[in-house]
Amino acid sequence: MSELDLSKFEKRMIIRNTKQEDIDEIIKMQNSCFPGMEPWKRDQLESHLEIFPEGQFVAEYDGKVVGSCSSLIINFDEYDDRHSWDDVTDEGYISNHNPEGYNLYGIEVMTHPEFRRMKVGYRLYEARKDLARQMNLKSIIIGGRIPNYHLHAEEMSPREYVRQVASHKIYDPVLSFQLRNDFTLMRINPNYLPDDLQSNKYATLMEWNNVDYQPKSKRFYKTSNPVRICVVQYMMRKIKSFEDLAHQVEYFTDVAADAGSDFAVFPEIFTTQLMSFMDEKSPSLAVRRVTEYTEQYIELFTDLAVRYNVNIIGGSHLVKEDDDEIYNISYLFRRDGTIDKQYKLHITPNERRWWGISRGDELKVFDTDCGKIAIQICYDIEFPELARIATDMGAKIIFTPFCTEDRQGYLRVRYCAQARAVENQVYTVISGTVGNLPQTENMDIQYAQSGIFAPSDFEFARDGIVGETNPNIEMVMIGDVDLEILRRQRQDGTVRQLKDRRHDIYRIQYKK
């Protein structure tokens, strides 16, 4: 007896994350689902996949995309209760997605008209709920349409309409569905979607609470979220051994810890001080000898970060890797003993000429116990695209270890760091070397004035300068930055550079 081939009868329903190749189908489907409303732009959907791919889903039935949904993560407390769709989605580009947020915000769900009553929407909602559980998010919030309201607008208010739907006296295809899926009404927002004429521009703000949520912190109850930073302006002087450098580094780490600092920041390539006891006249050979101390350098800072309970930006160090290339690398030594590193991405003509330094290829943002940070070494801070991308990746503080030999070079770093603070509504920190190494080729003179900078607005320090050292003397500067003030200023500041960007006419693309 021949077996019946069951596979030819199978038509699989799959819920999966959205891919680039789905975009055209989603836009086409949206025109069918919401006639008269402006559909997604391709660059908006591409932005969703670039920023938060985990939060974008499609329903695929028998190989055809028949439904989709988009979402982002926010801290809902940062938004006015009467927010619009544009407010909460950054005009559809979700550049305001906050990986540290508490709420998953659903910005659209749709099912192809030919495939309704197949529980496509239900499956997409379940995918969102699973994501919220996996990411330990407090809730899912949606701004729901009420598309049948226009049929009743002359006889009842939006509030009465919603009450009638909740009492099952009126059927609304969206609101009735959301109530069946355990969403509860928070409020009704006017002017939510200006082109949603069926809902008379109203939307119901709905929430599903994750009963498995485990609170991550008490930040909801804080009125401030301070971070203390100790900036080390390090003097380059002749030493006799690695132990001499280690003693100086430990002294400054001790000072930072005594002040209760969360971060201690050292300057760029300050470990070239090791050249001062090497009898090596050739700069290219001297720099290779410095790389021989990489393991001692890492062991030293790892020990100090844990022993003194302070996160350390270890300046930067020249490292020879397996490809026999030398890189300028800044290490983050966390106080829990873990380590990360950022390669210098832009190499100056001087570094190439004297030392043959190679460039890195990846911009990173690091998690710390004080939030997300980025490190951009000296010349890198002079390229505004990097700071903008780091900010979009969640960085609130950008640390810039630097080493410059004259005032002009120093001012390029300083002015750019201050500009980055204003442009991106972040804090920036610069830490430089001073002093002289008379016998060391290409490291003989230094010029620096280190500092911490803030956006320029009423909430921050006058002139946007949290603190700065005196020029060209060895010293530390300790200052506090408040991430809660930064959060509020991004939402309600005099100017809001992040929210007011014109994504309709320009974008920055990071090629990973």
Find where tokens 């993560």 sit: 73
Q: How confident is the model at residue 221 (pLDDT cuts 50, 70, 90)?
A: very low
- Please tell me the distance from the alpha carbon of residue 154 to that of residue 172, in angstroms, as a whole number: 16
Q: How confident is the model at residue 360 (pLDDT cuts 50, 70, 90)?
A: very high
Each residue's pLDDT tens digit, 180-194: 989 999 999 898 888
Taking CA atoms, 254 is separated from 180, 247, 326, in Å, by 59, 11, 31
**CATH of region 228-492:** 3.60.110.10
Q: Using the 8-state DSSP alphabet, how is residue 284 labeled?
A: H
- Please tell me the distance from the alpha carbon of residue 277 to that of residue 285, in angstroms, as a whole number: 14
Reduced to 3 states (helix: H, G, I; strand: E, B; else coil), residue 53 is helix
Q: How confident is the model at residue 65 (pLDDT cuts 50, 70, 90)?
A: very high
- Can you give the pLDDT at residue 81? 72
> Hey, CA dihedral for 98, 73, 96, 460, is it positive or negative?
negative
Domain spans in the chain, listed from the N-terminal domain onward: 10-209, 228-492
Mean pLDDT of 208-235: 82
- Please tell me the distance from the alpha carbon of residue 282 to that of residue 279, in angstroms, as a whole number: 9
- Can you give the pLDDT at residue 2? 57
* CB-CB contact of 149 with 196 (8 Å): no
Long-range own/partner contacts, residues 37-45 (CB < 8 A, 24 or more apart): 37/193, 37/195, 37/196, 38/195, 40/92, 41/92, 43/93, 43/503, 43/507, 44/92, 44/93, 45/18, 45/70
Q: Is the pLDDT of residue 217 over 50?
A: yes
Each residue's pLDDT tens digit, 131-164: 999 999 999 999 988 999 999 999 999 999 999 9
Q: State the angle between helix axes of 294-307 and 242-258 in degrees (0 to 180), rounded to the nearest 10.
A: 20
| Bigger pLDDT: 375 vs 203 | 375
- Please tell me the distance from the alpha carbon of residue 150 to that of residue 157, in angstroms, as a whole number: 11
Burial of 419 (0-12, 13-18, 19+ CB in 10 A): middle
Mean pLDDT of 278-282: 81
126, two tokens: 């379940």
Q: How confident is the model at residue 90 (pLDDT cuts 50, 70, 90)?
A: confident
- Please tell me the distance from the alpha carbon of residue 201 to that of residue 432, in angstroms, as a whole number: 55
Each residue's pLDDT tens digit, 229-254: 999 999 999 999 999 999 999 999 99
Q: Is the pLDDT of residue 218 over 60?
A: no
Active site residues: 268, 344, 378
Find where tokens 């946007």 sit: 464
Q: Which residue blocks in 137-241 are alpha helix, DSSP H? A: 158-166, 175-180
* CB-CB contact of 460 with 489 (8 Å): yes
| This prediction's pTM | 0.69
**CATH of region 10-209:** 3.40.630.30
Mean pLDDT of 258-271: 96
- Can you give the pLDDT at residue 9? 60
| R_g of the chain, CA atoms, integer Å | 28
Reduced to 3 states (helix: H, G, I; strand: E, B; else coil), residue 189 is strand
Q: Is the pLDDT of residue 215 over 90?
A: no
